[in-house]
């Protein structure tokens, strides 16, 4: 009667129990006796990798998925062990998590919050996933994070750059390794001032949605603090493909820097258009006109081709970093897939490892134990130098890379070069400035 | 003043893309009476013709360069295009550089072929079916086509630059006596506008001045009668479908340097081009072209800062707002024919 | 029964039974088996089946009966969702006020949109509705961010006022409920290696759906429904028969808008989140596809279509190459890889491709949608019974 | 004072004067035919009577009330029913349903959102529709798809639908156009029967002189948008002006 060979949630009602449950007017929480949602009971544990597989971010999602598969391989003791060897915490043994073999399910977020939540719910409800991770936009991250909070599982955010994810929409069950708009602004401004001078007039084109607003705000305040003047900020629709009508007014303004607060397809198109209109060859106020892209992604830079050359931006991580962690990761990933990993792949891989490590250290898959273990956790060897998982907002604090489009790329992956590694102290901020309420961890029981 | 001139230029440029797609859509609708939701996909395939040709031209073999290393620390393998070996580096570079214009020659047969195959293989069976069925089957086809492209080319945009000769901008200011360096416009966008004008003119001339076109126009007006005259109108309509596909495809080819193509660019344009066609009036070719330019220009003006300061968000909705106003004041769009698609 | 004819009553009972036993029917494969991948009997998907069923039923009242093809119905769904969410933020996490208000707000909004759009017919009407929906989407995503949450959407927060609810216990998250019954709560029943989940939210949504379905039958069989079919058939004759078509079409538009709002409200009740992309034109297109796929103008078709599309979206997209390899592990290595390579483009990230192919196949081979497919199969089995004396059989086509 | 009074009605389409100063009076309970060569303005006149077109000048009074500016459904509710040149019926609906719709319109007015009544349980309407089908000799076809009937049957159904509303004025627009001789004769018989059995005024536009002279009590001849003569059938036969109008046309046609 108690043959409990369920790969899915470890809940083992027999017919008898269920019969009782049905006759009672009250309902029985499946997970109640285990103490938290989807507590793994067999010798495996299931993680949910929720990434965009269709839509404009599908390639980024594919790279995230590759990283997750690699992480699972390493966690289960396969491959060369990757970052397990360089990670400062040595809790992980390569024998799965808490001795349980890691299995995973995948889903398609379609970069839509509804689809992402449907996919995550199916992982939680059907496949018994105890942790959800992934994603390539802040809308999705915030939506799925709220879901995980409600369902009582851990959410390890993938690529999400908006301040909101660990700001006004933060949740106790959600954690972000990726950096955010504020950090981009703080890291970029000094470099821009150093390279272009303190007397600049900036013109912002901003994607008309939350991430755009926060990024514009961050870059604007940090550059203005160094003496720049903001000539204008113009909002552009998310669905815009041809930015010409937003770029020609710049020709008439006396701005000498253009900041493109765009990501993904928007960024590729607006940058391409800006270069087309000869902005980079312009001289204004006796200065060379410059373009800045606050958030760079190598995959997207590829889409813009030669247009990225010499353009400053920030990024979470880049494969050309020479610390031990980065080198180990590039080697593992590159050997397995034949090309270097993207920053999305890196953050996802690291998130998977950090989760596993927290479980090991906390001694339980219980989200509250995991949260406790990640809270104010300091680690190193993951490619970004010493890093802190801040307890107040579940945001990682680490160095930020300022990069520039490379003038003479040697391959199709070699598009960015690192200009400066901004130390973490420069990008740290007070957790309270973005509002929001973390709440208490929810184990779901 | 300069701002206005520039926005008119922007509008004309955007409008040429809208007009070209809407023109093809209207050709198909007007001749065959079919609502083709796969038309955006044809535009996209056209763009990928350019990508494909530039890939074909730059097919390479690897040469190991021991002086450099790749990301794993191994000696770097440098791709050397075969055209370098065959024609020398200078000619090879020129060929690669001119891939997009060359793609026109490549795209025409490909697109006509795809169009004809589509009409004979699928659309033909849907002439008598309700418009809803036509929409569903062509929408399904559009998904299939774009997924196939995604399978081979990925989801990211692929940069496809214009030849070096067309980079940079033309300075209207200097040419027409304004301040220099203010009214400048990229050469390639001017090329696109001119190209669109030529294609539109060619389609009109073809329909207006050739016997073939005359028969097709007669068929558009009254298919039965033309058939009664013993003319094989079906074959001509098939060819018209091919031509419409080619128009969409060429619009796509020439668009690639303006924005890097990706697999869902067709869907981005689809809804917009339907709005253009309907605003122009179903079945009216001049209407489609006129509406394309009109909406392009209005969209450009609505994105000016001066306008947005008064009406924030207008740039988000301008096209739809104009569409609503036009359809409410002119029941059949700008130049629509009576009774077309009204049931 | 309930004022229905025998045939319709039978259909309603059949649907009710299917819906009640869906947790069993949708979970035919034992846990842990390779085919468990195809089980759909988990709360989220079951909820989506019935919610999109409601959406499609409502859409069919407009499109199936009057023939007016709206390309903007997702806007009503979205507006309903936002309304319900605000009720949850301001009043109470009890789903009743949210659902009621979502229907009302969507009704008012659709009245306004319908009033304007119904001045035109045919594709001009379609484009007008599309324009309204796209404007709603664009504004909700950008300018209206304070009201809609923009990109990140809205979720209930601990800090929301919720004036009717008692204060949350410290550490508790707000959860949608029906007088204390949490929508997310489930009872599980294990039988051997089968596991069935009975979810409170699903049954709430299912009951709403049955009511919605019942009402749609009544509308179909009412004089009002007949007038709507007459609108589709011949507006001219209807006008010259002394009937004013505009209020009929407008009423149908508003009713279907309210159905969409109801679906939107339920979506929020089941899964407390709303984002603007719910209103994007592809979402409007989806309901058109559901209706056509199932069978336009039929009672049950839209529900089937909604189920089919949601099933593909949620089940096919989750199959990855890893799972494929497990399935075909029994084959020799080379052959296994070959088979996996062959199938892989159609599942997982390629599920859109399968969707497109199925649309085409259905339209080409089953113009009447899945319902027609079912009828064809039924006819195959009935072939042996001698005469088909159904009174609506089409006899003696003339001219 | 006739039931329908048309005074000084004129209608112009761009440069074309379709109707110029038409005066017409149709007496109650009579059968009045309007004839004329192609392009004489017969259809334009008819469309002005039913609200499809609004004349530029003049007035149209039905039973003492102006119909101008009213919508077709309002004019119908006043008691004018129209039969079209090609039968306009609800092709996707069954014959019975076709007949029920005008019955509902007669009883419930131009709009009634009776959403929750089963239409087949509305005894009054069902009986009325069945009765009407019987009168039209179509009871056996009640479950047929209306679109699948012969043209003659469609015409019969359409007339039946109009009659079920008990209109005071029935307008017929070339009711036998495109019909075979047998169908034409059937239709003539039907109309004769209606005329005898019912209290109804019939106005008929017709090309076919056989039909006109079988039915009409008075005839108005229209040419180039103006009435030439109005008289009894006997006087119209051989009227020189009429002959001229028609001969003119035949010459042109030839």
Q: Tell me: the pLDDT tens digits for A114-162?
A: 999 999 999 999 899 999 999 888 999 999 999 999 899 999 999 999 9
Selected residues 14-33 of chain B with any CB under 8 Å from a CB in chain C: none
- Per the prediction, chain D carries an average pLDDT of 86
Q: Are residues A138 and A260 in the same domain?
A: no
Domains contained in chain A, number: 2
What is the average per-residue pLDDT within A15-23? 37
C131 to chain B: which residues are within 8 Å by CB? 275, 320-321, 323-324
- Residue partners of C311: CB distance under 8 A and separation at least 6: C40, C45, C49
Q: Do at least 3 CB pairs under 8 Å connect C with A?
A: yes
In a domain, A408, yes or no: no
Q: Which residue of C has its CA nearest to A7?
A: C32
Q: Are residues A66 and A173 in the same domain?
A: yes
Q: Can you give the C-alpha Rg of chain B in angstroms?
A: 22
Ordered DSSP codes for A410-433: SSTT--EEEEEEE-HHHH---GGG
> Domain extents for chain D?
4-253
Higher pLDDT, D252 or D28: D28
Give the pairing type, strands C181-182 and C177-178. Answer: antiparallel
Distance between CA atoms of C41 and C107, rounded to whole angstroms? 32
Shortest distance, CA D20 to any CA of chain C (angstroms):
26
Shortest distance, CA B41 to any CA of chain A (angstroms):
15
Q: Are A90 and A83 in contact (CB under 8 A)?
A: no
pLDDT for B309 equals: 86
Q: What is the pLDDT of residues C60-95, one digit of tens each?
A: 999 999 999 999 999 999 999 999 999 999 999 999
pLDDT for D248 equals: 58
pLDDT for B338 equals: 67
Q: What is the pLDDT of residues C262-299, one digit of tens each?
A: 999 999 999 999 999 899 998 999 999 899 889 988 99
At residue C258, does pLDDT exceed 70?
Answer: yes
Q: What ipTM score was computed for the predicted complex, to two decimals? A: 0.90
The residues facing A101 across adjacent strands are A44
Q: Are residues A175 and A60 in the same domain?
A: yes
Do A59 and B316 lie within an 8 Å CB cutoff?
A: no
Q: Are residues A175 and A324 in the same domain?
A: yes
Q: Between helices B265-280 and B39-57, what is the axis angle to 10°?
A: 140
Do A303 and B17 lie within an 8 Å CB cutoff?
A: no
Residue A74, CA distances (Å) to A81, A188, A333, B310 in order = 5, 35, 11, 57
Coil/strand/helix, residue A46? strand
What is the average per-residue pLDDT within A289-294? 94
Interface test with A, best of C158, C173, C322 (most A CBs within 10 A): C173
Phi, psi of C59 (to 5 degrees): -60, -35
Domain boundary among A300, A315, A330: A315
Domain boundary among A315, A333, A364: A315
Shortest distance, CA C113 to any CA of chain B (angstroms):
11
How large a percentage of chain C has pLDDT more than 70? 95
Given pLDDT bands bounded at 50, 70 and 90, which one contains residue C384?
A: low
pLDDT for B340 equals: 63
pLDDT for A11 equals: 39
Do C239 and D150 lie within an 8 Å CB cutoff?
A: no
Interface test with B, best of A213, A276, A299 (most B CBs within 10 A): A276
Given pLDDT bands bounded at 50, 70 and 90, which one contains residue C122?
A: confident
Nearest of B331, B338, B271 to residue B21 by alpha carbon: B271
By mean pLDDT, which of A315-329, B28-42, D167-181, D238-252 is the weakest? Answer: D238-252
Q: Is B229 on the interface with C (CB under 8 A)?
A: no
At residue D254, does pLDDT exceed 70?
Answer: no
Coil/strand/helix, residue B47? helix
Contacts 24+ apart (CB under 8 A), A271-274: A271/A304, A271/A307, A271/A308, A271/A311, A272/A304, A272/A305, A272/A307, A272/B159, A272/B258, A272/B259, A272/B260, A273/A242, A273/A243, A273/A244, A273/A247, A273/B258, A273/B259, A274/A243, A274/A247, A274/A307
Higher pLDDT, A418 or D246: A418
At residue D61, does pLDDT exceed 60?
Answer: yes
H helix or E strand, kind and range, residue A187:
helix A181-196
- Per the prediction, chain C carries an average pLDDT of 89
pLDDT for B234 equals: 81
Q: Is D50 on the interface with C (CB under 8 A)?
A: yes
Q: Are residues A213 and A232 in the same domain?
A: yes
Higher pLDDT, A428 or C393: A428
Nearest of A212, A232, A256, A206 to residue B306 by alpha carbon: A232
Q: Are residues A205 and A308 in the same domain?
A: yes
pLDDT for C268 equals: 95
pLDDT for C98 equals: 95
Given pLDDT bands bounded at 50, 70 and 90, which one contains residue C104?
A: very high
Selected residues 274-293 of chain A with any CB under 8 Å from a CB in chain B: 276-278, 281-282
Domain boundary among A270, A297, A315: A315
Q: Is C363 on the interface with B (CB under 8 A)?
A: yes
Extract the tokens encoding A212: 């755009």
Residue C242 CB neighbour total at 10 angstroms: 26
pLDDT for C139 equals: 93
Q: Are residues A339 and A393 in the same domain?
A: yes
Selected residues 131-160 of chain B with any CB under 8 Å from a CB in chain A: 150, 154-160
pLDDT for A226 equals: 92
Do C242 and D82 lie within an 8 Å CB cutoff?
A: no
* CATH code reported for the domain at D4-253: 3.40.50.300
Nearest of B236, B235, B239, B258 to residue B247 by alpha carbon: B239
Shortest distance, CA A32 to any CA of chain C (angstroms):
11
Phi, psi of A379 (to 5 degrees): -145, 175
Which of the listed ranges A232-241, B267-276, D10-19, D93-102 does the model predict with the highest average pLDDT?
Answer: D93-102
Q: Are residues A341 and A219 in the same domain?
A: no
Q: Is C345 on the interface with D (CB under 8 A)?
A: no
* CATH number of the domain residue A209 falls in: 3.40.50.2300
User: Would you give per-residue pLDDT tens digits along chain B (343 residues)?
Assistant: 778 888 898 999 889 999 999 999 888 887 788 888 899 999 999 999 999 999 898 888 888 888 777 777 778 777 888 888 888 888 888 888 888 889 999 999 999 999 999 999 998 888 888 887 888 889 899 999 999 999 999 888 998 888 888 888 888 777 777 777 777 889 999 999 999 999 999 999 998 888 888 888 887 777 777 777 877 888 888 888 999 999 999 999 999 999 899 998 888 888 888 889 889 988 888 999 999 999 999 999 998 888 888 888 888 899 999 999 999 998 888 887 765 665 5
A69 to chain C: which residues are within 8 Å by CB? 322
Q: Which domains are present in chain C? A: 6-280 (1.10.3470)
Distance between CA atoms of A366 and A194, rounded to whole angstroms? 48
How large a percentage of chain D has pLDDT more than 70? 97
Chain pair B-C, CB pairs under 8 angstroms: 125
pLDDT for B1 equals: 73
Higher pLDDT, B76 or A83: A83
Extract the tokens encoding C107: 């009704």
Higher pLDDT, A316 or B311: A316
At residue A391, does pLDDT exceed 60?
Answer: yes
Distance between CA atoms of C36 and C193, rounded to whole angstroms? 11
> Domain extents for chain B?
2-329
Q: What is the dihedral of CA C97, C103, C108, C111, to 10 degrees?
A: -170
What is the average per-residue pLDDT within D207-227? 86
Find the domain containing A213 and state its range: 182-315
At residue A381, does pLDDT exceed 60?
Answer: yes
Q: What is the pLDDT of residues C332-377, one digit of tens each?
A: 888 888 888 888 888 888 888 998 998 898 888 888 889 988 888 8
Distance between CA atoms of D186 and A322, rounded to whole angstroms? 98
Higher pLDDT, D114 or A358: A358
At residue A21, does pLDDT exceed 60?
Answer: no
Q: Are D141 and D149 in contact (CB under 8 A)?
A: yes
pLDDT for B342 equals: 59
pLDDT for D137 equals: 87
Alpha carbon C266 to chain centroid distance?
11
Residue D12 CB neighbour total at 10 angstroms: 14
Q: Are residues A208 and A272 in the same domain?
A: yes
At residue C187, does pLDDT exceed 90?
Answer: no
Distance between CA atoms of C387 and C380, rounded to whole angstroms? 14
Q: Are residues A70 and A114 in the same domain?
A: yes
């Amino acid at each position: 009667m108690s043959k409990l060979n369920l790969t899915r949630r470890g809940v083992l009602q027999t017919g008898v129990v269920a019969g009782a449950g049905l006759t009672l007017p009250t309902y029985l929480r499946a997970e109640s006796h285990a103490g938290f949602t989807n507590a793994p009971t067999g010798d495996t544990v299931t993680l949910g990798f929720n990434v965009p597989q269709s839509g404009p971010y599908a390639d980024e999602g594919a790279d995230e998925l590759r990283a997750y598969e690699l992480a699972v391989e390493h966690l289960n003791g396969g491959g060369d062990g990757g970052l397990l060897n360089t990670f400062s915490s040595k809790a992980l043994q390569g024998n799965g998590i808490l001795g349980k073999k890691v299995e995973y399910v995948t889903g398609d977020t379609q970069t839509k919050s509804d689809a992402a939540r449907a996919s995550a719910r199916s992982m939680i409800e059907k496949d018994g996933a105890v942790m959800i991770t992934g994603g390539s936009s802040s809308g999705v991250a915030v939506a799925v994070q709220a879901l995980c909070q409600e369902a009582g599982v851990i959410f390890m955010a993938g690529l999400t750059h908006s301040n909101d994810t660990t700001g006004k929409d933060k949740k106790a069950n959600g954690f972000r390794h990726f950096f955010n708009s504020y950090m981009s602004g703080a890291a970029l401004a000094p470099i821009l001032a150093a390279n272009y001078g303190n007397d600049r007039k900036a013109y912002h084109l901003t994607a008309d949605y939350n991430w755009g607003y926060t990024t514009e705000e961050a870059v604007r305040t940090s550059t203005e603090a160094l003496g720049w003047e903001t000539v204008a900020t113009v909002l552009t629709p998310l669905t815009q493909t041809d930015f010409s009508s937003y770029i020609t007014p710049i020709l008439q303004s006396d701005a000498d820097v253009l900041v493109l607060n765009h990501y993904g397809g928007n960024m590729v198109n607006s940058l391409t258009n800006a270069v087309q209109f000869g902005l980079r060859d312009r001289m204004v106020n006796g200065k060379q006109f410059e373009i800045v892209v606050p958030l760079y992604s190598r995959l997207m830079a590829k889409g813009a081709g030669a247009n990225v050359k010499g353009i400053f931006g920030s990024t979470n991580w880049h494969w050309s970093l020479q610390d031990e962690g980065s080198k180990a990761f590039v080697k593992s990933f590159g050997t397995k897939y034949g090309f270097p990993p993207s920053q999305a792949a890196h953050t996802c891989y690291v998130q998977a490892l950090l989760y596993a490590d927290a479980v090991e250290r906390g001694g339980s898959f219980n989200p509250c134990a995991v949260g406790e273990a990640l809270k104010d956790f300091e680690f190193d060897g993951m490619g970004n130098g010493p890093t802190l998982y801040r307890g107040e907002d579940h945001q990682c604090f680490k160095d930020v890379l300022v990069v520039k489009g490379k003038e003479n790329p040697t391959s199709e992956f070699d598009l960015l070069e690192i200009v400066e590694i901004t130390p973490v102290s420069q990008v740290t901020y007070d957790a309270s400035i973005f509002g929001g309420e973390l709440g208490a961890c929810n184990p779901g029981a | 003043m300069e701002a206005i001139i520039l926005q008119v230029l922007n509008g004309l440029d955007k409008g040429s893309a809208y007009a070209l797609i809407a023109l093809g859509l209207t050709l198909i609708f007007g001749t065959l009476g079919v609502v083709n939701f796969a038309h955006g996909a044809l535009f996209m395939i056209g763009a990928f013709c350019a990508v494909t040709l530039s890939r074909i031209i730059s097919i390479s073999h690897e040469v190991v360069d021991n002086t450099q290393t790749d990301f794993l620390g191994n000696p770097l393998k440098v791709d050397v295009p075969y055209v370098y070996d065959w024609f020398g580096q200078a000619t090879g570079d020129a060929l690669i550089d001119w891939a997009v214009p060359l793609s026109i020659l490549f795209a025409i047969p490909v697109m006509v072929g795809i169009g004809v195959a589509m009409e004979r293989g699928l659309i033909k069976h849907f002439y008598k079916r309700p418009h809803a069925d036509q929409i569903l089957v062509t929408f399904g086809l559009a998904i299939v086509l774009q997924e196939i492209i995604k399978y081979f080319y990925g989801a990211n945009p692929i940069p496809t630059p214009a030849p070096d000769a067309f980079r940079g901008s033309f300075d209207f200011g200097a040419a027409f006596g304004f301040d220099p360096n203010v009214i400048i416009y990229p050469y390639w966008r001017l090329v696109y506008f001119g190209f669109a004008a030529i294609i539109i003119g060619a389609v009109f001339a073809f329909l207006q001045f050739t016997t073939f076109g005359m028969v097709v126009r007669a068929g558009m007006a009254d298919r039965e009668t033309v058939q009664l005259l013993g003319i094989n109108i079906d074959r001509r309509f098939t060819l018209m479908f091919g031509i419409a596909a080619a128009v969409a495809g060429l619009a796509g080819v020439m668009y690639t340097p303006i924005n890097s193509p990706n697999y869902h660019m067709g869907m981005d344009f689809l809804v917009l081009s339907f709005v253009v066609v309907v605003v122009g009036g179903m079945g009216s070719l001049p209407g489609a072209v006129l509406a394309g330019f009109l909406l392009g220009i209005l969209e450009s003006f609505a994105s000016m800062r001066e306008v947005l300061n008064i009406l924030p968000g207008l740039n988000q909705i301008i096209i739809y707002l104009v569409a609503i106003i036009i359809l409410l004041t002119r029941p059949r769009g700008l130049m629509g024919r009576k009774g077309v698609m009204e049931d | 029964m309930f004022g229905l004819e025998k045939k319709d009553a039978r259909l309603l009972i059949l649907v009710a039974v299917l819906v009640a036993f869906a947790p069993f029917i949708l979970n035919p494969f034992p846990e842990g088996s390779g085919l468990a991948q195809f089980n759909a009997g988990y709360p989220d998907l079951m909820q989506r089946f019935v919610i999109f069923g409601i959406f499609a039923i409502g859409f069919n009242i407009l499109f199936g009966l009057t023939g007016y093809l709206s390309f903007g119905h997702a806007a009503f769904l979205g507006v309903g969702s936002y309304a319900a969410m605000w009720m949850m933020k301001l009043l109470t996490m009890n789903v009743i006020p949210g659902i009621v208000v979502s229907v009302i707000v969507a009704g008012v909004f659709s009245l306004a949109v319908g009033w304007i759009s119904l001045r035109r017919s045919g594709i001009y009407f379609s484009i007008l509705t599309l324009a309204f929906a796209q404007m709603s989407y664009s504004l909700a995503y950008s300018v209206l961010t304070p009201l809609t949450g923009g990109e990140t959407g809205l979720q209930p927060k601990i800090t929301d006022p919720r004036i009717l609810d008692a204060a949350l216990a410290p550490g508790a998250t707000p959860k949608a409920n029906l007088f204390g019954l949490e929508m997310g709560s489930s009872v599980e029943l294990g039988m051997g290696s089968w596991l069935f989940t009975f979810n409170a939210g699903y049954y709430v949504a299912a009951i709403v759906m049955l009511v919605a379905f019942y009402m749609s039958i009544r509308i179909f069989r009412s004089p009002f429904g007949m007038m709507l079919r007459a609108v589709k058939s011949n507006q001219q004759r209807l006008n010259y028969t002394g009937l004013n078509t505009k209020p009929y079409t407008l009423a149908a538009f508003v009713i279907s808008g309210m159905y969409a709002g109801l679906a939107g409200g339920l979506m929020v009740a089941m899964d407390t989140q709303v984002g603007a992309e719910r209103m994007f034109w592809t979402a409007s297109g989806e309901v058109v596809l559901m209706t056509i796929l199932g069978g336009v103008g039929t009672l049950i078709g839209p529900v089937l279509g909604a189920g089919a599309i949601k099933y593909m979206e949620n089940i096919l997209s989750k199959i990855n190459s890893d799972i494929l390899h497990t399935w075909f592990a029994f084959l020799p290595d080379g052959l296994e890889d070959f088979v996996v390579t062959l199938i892989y483009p159609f599942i997982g990230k390629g599920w859109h491709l399968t969707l497109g192919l199925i649309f085409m196949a259905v339209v080409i081979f089953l113009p009447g949608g899945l319902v027609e497919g079912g009828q064809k199969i039924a006819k195959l089995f009935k072939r042996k019974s001698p005469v088909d004396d159904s009174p609506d059989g089409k006899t003696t086509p003339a001219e | 004072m006739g039931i329908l009074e048309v005074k000084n009605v004129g209608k112009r389409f761009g440069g074309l004067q379709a109707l110029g100063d038409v005066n017409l009076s149709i007496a109650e309970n009579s059968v009045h035919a309007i004839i004329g060569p192609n392009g004489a303005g017969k259809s334009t006149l008819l469309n002005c009577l039913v609200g499809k077109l609004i004349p530029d000048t003049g007035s149209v009074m039905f039973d003492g009330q102006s119909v101008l500016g009213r919508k077709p459904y309002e004019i119908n509710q006043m008691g004018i029913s129209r039969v079209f040149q090609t039968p306009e019926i609800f092709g996707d609906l069954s014959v019975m349903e076709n007949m029920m719709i005008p019955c509902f319109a007669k009883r419930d007015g131009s709009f009634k959102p009776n959403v929750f009544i089963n239409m087949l349980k509305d005894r009054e309407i069902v009986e009325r529709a069945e009765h009407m089908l019987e009168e039209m000799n179509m009871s056996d076809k009640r479950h047929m798809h209306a679109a699948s009937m012969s043209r003659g049957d469609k015409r019969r159904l359409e007339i039946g639908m109009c009659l079920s509303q008990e209109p005071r004025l029935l307008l017929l627009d070339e009711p036998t156009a495109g019909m075979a001789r047998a169908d034409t004769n059937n239709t003539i018989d039907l109309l004769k029967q209606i005329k005898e059995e019912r209290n109804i005024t019939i106005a008929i536009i017709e090309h076919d002189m056989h039909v006109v002279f079988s039915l009409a009590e008075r005839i108005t001849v229209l040419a180039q948008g103006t009435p030439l003569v109005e008289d009894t059938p006997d006087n119209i036969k051989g009227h020189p002006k009429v002959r001229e109008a028609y001969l003119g046309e035949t010459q042109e046609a030839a």
